[in-house]
Amino acid sequence: MPLVYKRILLKLSGEALMGDQDYGIDPHFVSELCDEIKDVYDIGVQIAIVIGGGNIFRGIKGTEMGLDRATADYMGMLATVMNALALQDALEKKDVPTRVMSAIEMRQIAEPYIRRRAIRHLEKGRIVIFAAGTGSPFFTTDTTGALRAAEIKADLLLKATKVDGIYDKDPMKYPDAKLLKEISYLDVINKNLKVMDHTALTLCMENKLPIAVFNIKKKGNLRKIVFGEDVGSIVR
Ligand code: UDP
């Protein structure tokens, strides 16, 4: 079967590294997640990853504690760097070559983000992990995912979630929620469906970048998607 998507950007929320804990990183869970990523890597897909930080710190939480928003957001960006290193460690334990590129310079632990270098790494078969979000406060790592995907000319942005895709209402609250297989960017925005923030969505829309929303907890889903199989929901 031919590959449908050859260069992908995978957006993982920080919570994806948390497993069943309610904070931080579960190494066992991260290792399982990396098996899924390696599976797709071994087929020859070029993979870039944007990792969130919500399992450690979110800007919004900081403002509730009384911190200045920008300061809190920088703390959130630092949280994504920790997650990026955990992910790098787990992937390299499986012999997958990786590079962490940070939007905020931290030369001792990550390369600075340079678009052309990121593309070069992908071409050389390295998984690139983008850390520190966009490097600017007031943004999210979903927006970072859309931005980096456009910059590296990814064929698809994959948004990993805990549920099977996009529903007409919250499937955690409503058992009769319906899974929407395909939906337009504007419908997601107008119906205020919880997929990604609007900044991320409009960036994808303007760049005609499709978004696959899928359940990362189901083994084999990632592989199915790169082969164009009908998994989860697609926004285009
Ligand atoms: N953040 C930011 N600018 C960015 C990306 C992230 O300021 O470009 C901060 C923001 O405070 C956010 C935190 O980093 O709450 C962690 O990212 P996010 O909440 O997107 O992580 P996720 O929900 O995906 O785990």
- What's the domain count of the chain? 1
How many whole angstroms from 10 Cα to the centroid of ligand 1?
15
How many whole angstroms from 48 Cα to the centroid of ligand 1?
17
pLDDT of residue 221: 98
pLDDT digits 0-9 by tens, 176-195? 999 999 999 999 999 999 99
How many whole angstroms from 1 Cα to the centroid of ligand 1?
37
Above 90 in pLDDT, residue 80? yes
Q: Which of 134, 140, 197, 199 to mutate to test ligand 1, by most ligand atoms within 8 A of the CB atom?
A: 140
In a domain, 82, yes or no: yes
Q: Which of 80, 82, 101 to mutate to test ligand 1, by most ligand atoms within 8 A of the CB atom?
A: 80
Does residue 14 have a known ligand-binding role?
yes
In a domain, 32, yes or no: yes
pLDDT of residue 29: 95
**Does an H or E element contain 187, and which?**
helix 185-190
Mean per-residue pLDDT, 54-59 = 98
Range(s) of the domain holding residue 172: 7-235
Above 90 in pLDDT, residue 34? yes
Name every protein residue with a CB atom under 6 angstroms from any ligand 1 atom. Answer: 13-15, 52-54, 58-59, 73, 76-77, 79-80, 133-134, 136-137, 139-142, 144
pLDDT of residue 45: 98
Closest CA to 16 of 221, 234, 156, 231: 221
pLDDT of residue 224: 98
Above 90 in pLDDT, residue 100? yes
The ligand 1 atom nearest the CA atom of 15 = 25
Rounded CA separation 155/136 (Å): 25
Length reported for the chain = 236
Give the burial class of 215: count Cβ atoms within 10 A of its Cβ; 0-12 exposed, 13-18 middle, 19 or more buried: middle
Yes or no: say if 55 and 141 are a contact pair by the CB < 8 Å rule.
no
How many whole angstroms from 141 Cα to the centroid of ligand 1?
5
pLDDT digits 0-9 by tens, 7-24? 999 999 999 999 999 999
Q: Residue 218's pLDDT band (boundaries 50, 70, 90)? A: very high
CATH of the domain at 156: 3.40.1160.10
pLDDT of residue 1: 83
Above 90 in pLDDT, residue 155? yes
In a domain, 186, yes or no: yes
Above 90 in pLDDT, residue 198? yes
Percentage of the chain exceeding pLDDT 70: 100
Rounded CA separation 82/69 (Å): 20
Mean per-residue pLDDT, 198-205 = 98
In a domain, 2, yes or no: no
Q: Residue 62's pLDDT band (boundaries 50, 70, 90)? A: very high
The ligand 1 atom nearest the CA atom of 134 = 8
Does residue 76 have a known ligand-binding role?
no
pLDDT of residue 185: 98
Does residue 167 have a known ligand-binding role?
yes
pLDDT of residue 49: 99
pLDDT of residue 234: 98
pLDDT of residue 17: 97
**Does an H or E element contain 225, and which?**
helix 221-226
In a domain, 1, yes or no: no
Ranges of beta strands (E only) in 34-178 are 46-51, 98-102, 111-112, 127-131, 156-161, 166-167
How many whole angstroms from 58 Cα to the centroid of ligand 1?
6
Percentage of the chain exceeding pLDDT 90: 97
Q: Which of 10, 12, 51, 58 to mutate to test ligand 1, by most ligand atoms within 8 A of the CB atom?
A: 58
How many whole angstroms from 5 Cα to the centroid of ligand 1?
27
